[in-house]
Amino acid sequence: MRTWQIGDVALTKIVELDVTGGTRFILPQATPETCRAMPWMAPHFMDGDGRLKMSVHALLVATPSRRIIVDTCIGNDKQGRTVPHWNDMHGPFLDDLAAAGFTRDSIDTVLCTHLHVDHVGWNTMLSDGAWVPTFPRARYLMARPEFEYWRDQRDVPDQTMVFDDSVRPVFDAGLVELVGTDYRVCDEVSLVPTVGHTPGHVSVRIVSRGEEALITGDFLHHPCQLASSSEARPFSPARPFGDGMCPDSLYLPYSSLISPPPLPLCSQVHRPGFPREYSVYQMLRFPIFRLTCARRQA
Protein backbone atom coordinates (compact mmCIF):
# COMPACT_ATOMS: atom_id res chain seq x y z
CA MET A 1 0.00 0.00 0.00
CA ARG A 2 1.30 3.41 -0.89
CA THR A 3 -0.10 6.75 0.21
CA TRP A 4 0.25 10.38 -0.74
CA GLN A 5 -1.09 13.56 0.80
CA ILE A 6 -2.36 16.30 -1.51
CA GLY A 7 -3.27 19.14 0.84
CA ASP A 8 -6.25 17.86 2.82
CA VAL A 9 -6.75 14.89 0.50
CA ALA A 10 -5.23 11.47 1.20
CA LEU A 11 -4.57 9.06 -1.65
CA THR A 12 -4.03 5.35 -1.07
CA LYS A 13 -3.04 2.91 -3.77
CA ILE A 14 -4.40 -0.62 -3.57
CA VAL A 15 -2.68 -2.95 -6.00
CA GLU A 16 -4.55 -5.90 -7.41
CA LEU A 17 -1.85 -7.13 -9.81
CA ASP A 18 1.79 -6.22 -10.28
CA VAL A 19 3.50 -6.81 -13.59
CA THR A 20 7.20 -6.47 -14.40
CA GLY A 21 8.22 -6.86 -18.02
CA GLY A 22 5.89 -8.30 -20.62
CA THR A 23 4.84 -4.78 -21.54
CA ARG A 24 6.03 -4.74 -25.11
CA PHE A 25 2.50 -5.08 -26.44
CA ILE A 26 1.56 -1.84 -24.71
CA LEU A 27 4.70 0.21 -25.26
CA PRO A 28 6.68 -1.58 -27.93
CA GLN A 29 9.29 1.13 -28.23
CA ALA A 30 10.12 1.02 -24.54
CA THR A 31 12.81 -1.58 -24.92
CA PRO A 32 15.09 -2.36 -21.97
CA GLU A 33 17.88 -0.50 -23.77
CA THR A 34 15.73 2.61 -24.15
CA CYS A 35 14.53 2.45 -20.59
CA ARG A 36 17.97 2.00 -19.08
CA ALA A 37 18.77 5.42 -20.51
CA MET A 38 16.20 6.83 -18.06
CA PRO A 39 17.78 5.77 -14.77
CA TRP A 40 15.36 7.91 -12.73
CA MET A 41 12.69 5.31 -13.44
CA ALA A 42 14.42 2.77 -11.19
CA PRO A 43 13.48 1.34 -8.83
CA HIS A 44 9.83 2.44 -8.80
CA PHE A 45 8.99 2.25 -12.49
CA MET A 46 11.50 -0.26 -13.86
CA ASP A 47 13.83 -2.91 -12.53
CA GLY A 48 17.60 -2.97 -12.88
CA ASP A 49 17.34 -4.69 -16.24
CA GLY A 50 15.22 -1.94 -17.76
CA ARG A 51 12.00 -3.92 -17.61
CA LEU A 52 8.99 -1.69 -16.97
CA LYS A 53 6.99 -2.10 -13.79
CA MET A 54 3.25 -1.69 -14.10
CA SER A 55 0.25 -2.53 -11.99
CA VAL A 56 -3.49 -2.81 -11.97
CA HIS A 57 -4.62 -0.83 -8.98
CA ALA A 58 -7.33 1.30 -7.46
CA LEU A 59 -6.79 4.68 -5.84
CA LEU A 60 -8.70 5.60 -2.71
CA VAL A 61 -9.31 9.31 -2.38
CA ALA A 62 -10.29 10.58 1.04
CA THR A 63 -11.32 14.23 1.14
CA PRO A 64 -12.76 16.03 4.16
CA SER A 65 -16.24 15.14 2.90
CA ARG A 66 -15.96 12.15 0.56
CA ARG A 67 -14.56 8.63 0.40
CA ILE A 68 -13.95 7.82 -3.24
CA ILE A 69 -12.54 4.81 -5.05
CA VAL A 70 -11.13 5.57 -8.50
CA ASP A 71 -11.25 2.56 -10.85
CA THR A 72 -12.04 -0.88 -9.56
CA CYS A 73 -9.51 -3.15 -11.24
CA ILE A 74 -10.36 -6.62 -12.60
CA GLY A 75 -12.45 -8.20 -9.87
CA ASN A 76 -12.93 -11.72 -8.56
CA ASP A 77 -14.85 -14.54 -10.24
CA LYS A 78 -15.15 -12.79 -13.61
CA GLN A 79 -15.30 -14.95 -16.74
CA GLY A 80 -14.81 -14.47 -20.45
CA ARG A 81 -11.80 -12.16 -20.14
CA THR A 82 -9.35 -12.15 -23.01
CA VAL A 83 -6.33 -12.07 -20.71
CA PRO A 84 -6.34 -15.64 -19.39
CA HIS A 85 -5.23 -15.00 -15.83
CA TRP A 86 -7.84 -12.27 -15.38
CA ASN A 87 -10.49 -14.98 -15.35
CA ASP A 88 -11.84 -16.48 -12.13
CA MET A 89 -9.54 -14.49 -9.89
CA HIS A 90 -9.78 -14.94 -6.13
CA GLY A 91 -7.64 -12.12 -4.83
CA PRO A 92 -7.73 -10.31 -1.49
CA PHE A 93 -8.70 -6.94 -2.92
CA LEU A 94 -11.60 -6.30 -0.55
CA ASP A 95 -9.52 -7.36 2.44
CA ASP A 96 -6.84 -4.95 1.32
CA LEU A 97 -9.40 -2.16 1.06
CA ALA A 98 -10.63 -2.88 4.57
CA ALA A 99 -7.08 -2.98 5.89
CA ALA A 100 -6.63 0.51 4.45
CA GLY A 101 -9.69 1.62 6.39
CA PHE A 102 -12.15 1.47 3.49
CA THR A 103 -14.85 -1.11 4.08
CA ARG A 104 -17.32 -1.66 1.26
CA ASP A 105 -20.04 0.25 3.08
CA SER A 106 -17.78 3.20 3.78
CA ILE A 107 -17.22 4.08 0.11
CA ASP A 108 -19.62 6.83 -0.96
CA THR A 109 -18.37 7.36 -4.52
CA VAL A 110 -17.09 5.00 -7.20
CA LEU A 111 -15.44 6.82 -10.05
CA CYS A 112 -14.64 5.04 -13.32
CA THR A 113 -12.15 6.85 -15.53
CA HIS A 114 -13.44 4.65 -18.33
CA LEU A 115 -15.17 1.32 -18.73
CA HIS A 116 -12.39 -1.02 -19.79
CA VAL A 117 -12.22 -4.43 -18.20
CA ASP A 118 -9.47 -3.62 -15.70
CA HIS A 119 -11.21 -0.47 -14.43
CA VAL A 120 -14.67 -1.75 -13.59
CA GLY A 121 -14.26 -5.29 -12.23
CA TRP A 122 -14.93 -4.60 -8.56
CA ASN A 123 -17.95 -2.50 -9.39
CA THR A 124 -19.69 -5.79 -8.73
CA MET A 125 -19.16 -9.00 -6.81
CA LEU A 126 -20.69 -12.44 -7.05
CA SER A 127 -23.36 -13.17 -4.45
CA ASP A 128 -25.55 -16.28 -4.64
CA GLY A 129 -24.81 -16.55 -8.33
CA ALA A 130 -25.70 -12.97 -9.17
CA TRP A 131 -23.59 -9.86 -9.76
CA VAL A 132 -24.42 -7.29 -7.12
CA PRO A 133 -22.92 -3.86 -6.39
CA THR A 134 -19.77 -4.19 -4.32
CA PHE A 135 -20.29 -0.75 -2.84
CA PRO A 136 -24.01 -0.59 -2.11
CA ARG A 137 -23.96 2.84 -0.46
CA ALA A 138 -21.99 4.50 -3.25
CA ARG A 139 -22.94 6.58 -6.26
CA TYR A 140 -21.11 5.20 -9.29
CA LEU A 141 -20.01 8.13 -11.45
CA MET A 142 -19.48 7.44 -15.14
CA ALA A 143 -19.07 9.87 -17.97
CA ARG A 144 -22.20 9.80 -20.08
CA PRO A 145 -20.46 9.40 -23.49
CA GLU A 146 -18.37 6.56 -22.10
CA PHE A 147 -21.36 4.70 -20.72
CA GLU A 148 -23.46 5.16 -23.84
CA TYR A 149 -20.66 4.01 -26.13
CA TRP A 150 -20.06 0.72 -24.35
CA ARG A 151 -23.77 0.15 -23.71
CA ASP A 152 -24.33 0.23 -27.46
CA GLN A 153 -21.35 -1.97 -28.39
CA ARG A 154 -23.08 -5.33 -28.54
CA ASP A 155 -20.94 -6.96 -31.21
CA VAL A 156 -17.70 -7.41 -29.25
CA PRO A 157 -18.34 -10.45 -27.05
CA ASP A 158 -15.69 -9.91 -24.39
CA GLN A 159 -16.57 -6.24 -23.97
CA THR A 160 -20.27 -7.07 -23.88
CA MET A 161 -19.54 -9.49 -21.06
CA VAL A 162 -17.65 -6.83 -19.11
CA PHE A 163 -20.51 -4.40 -19.45
CA ASP A 164 -23.09 -6.99 -18.47
CA ASP A 165 -21.35 -8.29 -15.37
CA SER A 166 -19.62 -5.15 -14.11
CA VAL A 167 -21.56 -2.10 -15.33
CA ARG A 168 -25.16 -3.05 -16.04
CA PRO A 169 -25.84 -4.48 -12.56
CA VAL A 170 -24.95 -1.21 -10.84
CA PHE A 171 -26.95 0.74 -13.40
CA ASP A 172 -29.97 -1.52 -12.91
CA ALA A 173 -29.59 -1.07 -9.14
CA GLY A 174 -30.04 2.66 -9.68
CA LEU A 175 -26.57 3.50 -8.41
CA VAL A 176 -25.08 4.99 -11.59
CA GLU A 177 -24.97 8.71 -12.10
CA LEU A 178 -24.09 9.69 -15.66
CA VAL A 179 -22.09 12.90 -15.57
CA GLY A 180 -20.29 15.28 -17.88
CA THR A 181 -16.61 14.76 -18.58
CA ASP A 182 -15.79 17.92 -16.64
CA TYR A 183 -17.96 17.11 -13.63
CA ARG A 184 -17.00 18.49 -10.23
CA VAL A 185 -17.28 15.76 -7.61
CA CYS A 186 -16.54 17.94 -4.58
CA ASP A 187 -14.47 20.98 -3.68
CA GLU A 188 -11.17 19.18 -4.17
CA VAL A 189 -11.98 16.65 -6.89
CA SER A 190 -13.12 17.17 -10.47
CA LEU A 191 -13.08 15.29 -13.75
CA VAL A 192 -10.96 16.34 -16.69
CA PRO A 193 -11.82 15.09 -20.17
CA THR A 194 -8.89 13.11 -21.55
CA VAL A 195 -10.74 11.61 -24.45
CA GLY A 196 -8.80 9.41 -26.80
CA HIS A 197 -8.09 6.12 -25.11
CA THR A 198 -11.86 5.65 -25.08
CA PRO A 199 -14.71 7.94 -26.19
CA GLY A 200 -15.50 9.33 -22.76
CA HIS A 201 -12.26 8.84 -20.87
CA VAL A 202 -11.71 11.16 -17.93
CA SER A 203 -8.84 11.85 -15.58
CA VAL A 204 -9.33 12.95 -12.01
CA ARG A 205 -7.89 16.22 -10.82
CA ILE A 206 -7.30 16.82 -7.13
CA VAL A 207 -6.53 20.30 -5.84
CA SER A 208 -6.13 21.16 -2.18
CA ARG A 209 -4.16 23.78 -0.29
CA GLY A 210 -1.98 24.69 -3.23
CA GLU A 211 -1.09 21.12 -4.11
CA GLU A 212 -2.35 19.26 -7.11
CA ALA A 213 -2.49 15.73 -8.44
CA LEU A 214 -3.85 14.10 -11.53
CA ILE A 215 -5.03 10.53 -11.60
CA THR A 216 -4.56 9.88 -15.25
CA GLY A 217 -6.50 6.68 -15.77
CA ASP A 218 -5.24 5.22 -19.02
CA PHE A 219 -4.46 8.67 -20.32
CA LEU A 220 -0.92 7.54 -19.61
CA HIS A 221 0.32 4.03 -19.02
CA HIS A 222 3.81 4.63 -17.79
CA PRO A 223 6.11 7.53 -16.84
CA CYS A 224 8.40 6.65 -19.73
CA GLN A 225 5.73 8.23 -21.93
CA LEU A 226 6.36 11.56 -20.27
CA ALA A 227 10.02 11.42 -21.00
CA SER A 228 10.11 10.19 -24.54
CA SER A 229 8.07 11.27 -27.49
CA SER A 230 9.14 8.06 -29.19
CA GLU A 231 6.33 6.34 -27.32
CA ALA A 232 3.74 8.16 -29.39
CA ARG A 233 1.97 5.48 -31.34
CA PRO A 234 -0.14 5.55 -34.48
CA PHE A 235 -3.74 6.07 -33.63
CA SER A 236 -6.03 3.33 -34.87
CA PRO A 237 -8.45 4.58 -37.52
CA ALA A 238 -10.88 2.02 -36.14
CA ARG A 239 -11.04 3.94 -32.92
CA PRO A 240 -11.14 7.58 -33.96
CA PHE A 241 -11.87 9.07 -30.58
CA GLY A 242 -9.11 11.63 -30.22
CA ASP A 243 -10.78 14.97 -30.04
CA GLY A 244 -10.58 15.95 -26.43
CA MET A 245 -9.77 19.05 -24.49
CA CYS A 246 -7.42 19.27 -21.61
CA PRO A 247 -5.91 22.38 -20.02
CA ASP A 248 -2.24 22.77 -20.78
CA SER A 249 -1.49 22.96 -17.10
CA LEU A 250 -2.34 19.31 -16.76
CA TYR A 251 0.42 18.44 -19.15
CA LEU A 252 2.91 19.50 -16.54
CA PRO A 253 2.68 16.50 -14.30
CA TYR A 254 6.30 16.39 -13.37
CA SER A 255 5.95 14.29 -10.47
CA SER A 256 6.59 14.56 -6.79
CA LEU A 257 6.39 10.78 -6.89
CA ILE A 258 9.55 10.62 -8.95
CA SER A 259 12.85 11.99 -7.83
CA PRO A 260 14.23 14.92 -9.77
CA PRO A 261 15.15 15.69 -12.47
CA PRO A 262 11.71 16.90 -13.44
CA LEU A 263 10.26 15.23 -16.46
CA PRO A 264 10.06 17.00 -19.79
CA LEU A 265 6.66 18.32 -20.64
CA CYS A 266 4.16 16.04 -22.22
CA SER A 267 3.51 18.74 -24.71
CA GLN A 268 6.78 17.84 -26.37
CA VAL A 269 4.82 14.98 -27.83
CA HIS A 270 3.53 16.74 -30.85
CA ARG A 271 2.94 15.61 -34.35
CA PRO A 272 2.78 18.31 -37.00
CA GLY A 273 -0.70 18.84 -38.33
CA PHE A 274 -2.49 17.80 -35.19
CA PRO A 275 -3.38 19.80 -32.12
CA ARG A 276 -1.05 19.02 -29.27
CA GLU A 277 -3.82 17.32 -27.33
CA TYR A 278 -4.56 14.96 -30.15
CA SER A 279 -0.98 13.82 -30.36
CA VAL A 280 -0.79 13.15 -26.68
CA TYR A 281 -3.92 11.07 -26.71
CA GLN A 282 -2.54 8.86 -29.41
CA MET A 283 -0.21 7.28 -26.91
CA LEU A 284 -2.96 5.96 -24.80
CA ARG A 285 -4.59 3.00 -26.34
CA PHE A 286 -4.12 0.16 -23.93
CA PRO A 287 -5.12 -0.73 -20.40
CA ILE A 288 -3.18 -1.88 -17.37
CA PHE A 289 -1.43 1.03 -15.75
CA ARG A 290 -2.59 4.04 -13.88
CA LEU A 291 -0.11 6.68 -12.94
CA THR A 292 -0.69 9.29 -10.34
CA CYS A 293 1.17 12.44 -11.14
CA ALA A 294 1.46 15.07 -8.49
CA ARG A 295 3.18 18.40 -8.45
CA ARG A 296 3.44 21.25 -6.08
CA GLN A 297 2.14 24.47 -7.53
CA ALA A 298 4.57 27.32 -7.80
* Closest distance to Zn ion from the beta carbon of 286 (Å): 7
Q: Does 57 bind Zn ion (CB under 5 A)?
A: no
Residue nearest to Zn ion (CB): 116
* Closest distance to Zn ion from the beta carbon of 272 (Å): 27
Q: Which is nearer to Zn ion, 113 or 279 (CB)?
A: 113
Distance CA 133, CA 122 (A): 8
Count residues contacting Zn ion (CB under 5 A)?
A: 3
Under 8 Å between Cβ of 33 and 228: no
Burial 217-231 (b: 16+ CB within 10 A, else e): bbbbbbbbbbbbbeb
Q: Does 218 bind Zn ion (CB under 5 A)?
A: yes
Q: Which is nearer to Zn ion, 205 or 290 (CB)?
A: 290
Q: Which is nearer to Zn ion, 165 or 218 (CB)?
A: 218
Binding mask 61-100 for Zn ion (x = CB under 5 A): ----------------------------------------
Q: Which is nearer to Zn ion, 53 or 221 (CB)?
A: 221
Q: Does 116 bind Zn ion (CB under 5 A)?
A: yes
Under 8 Å between Cβ of 143 and 200: yes
Q: Which is nearer to Zn ion, 242 or 287 (CB)?
A: 287
DSSP 79-114: -S-SSGGGTT----HHHHHHHTT--GGG--EEE-S-
* Closest distance to Zn ion from the beta carbon of 116 (Å): 3
* Closest distance to Zn ion from the beta carbon of 71 (Å): 9
**Taking CB under 5 A as the criterion, which residues in 274-293 touch Zn ion?**
287
* Closest distance to Zn ion from the beta carbon of 67 (Å): 24
Is 135 in a helix, a strand, or coil? coil
Beta strands (DSSP E) in the chain are 2-6, 9-20, 53-62, 67-70, 109-111, 124-127, 130-133, 139-143, 176-179, 189-193, 202-208, 211-215, 292-296
* Closest distance to Zn ion from the beta carbon of 208 (Å): 27
Is 288 in a helix, a strand, or coil? coil
Contact set with Zn ion (CB under 5 A): 116, 218, 287
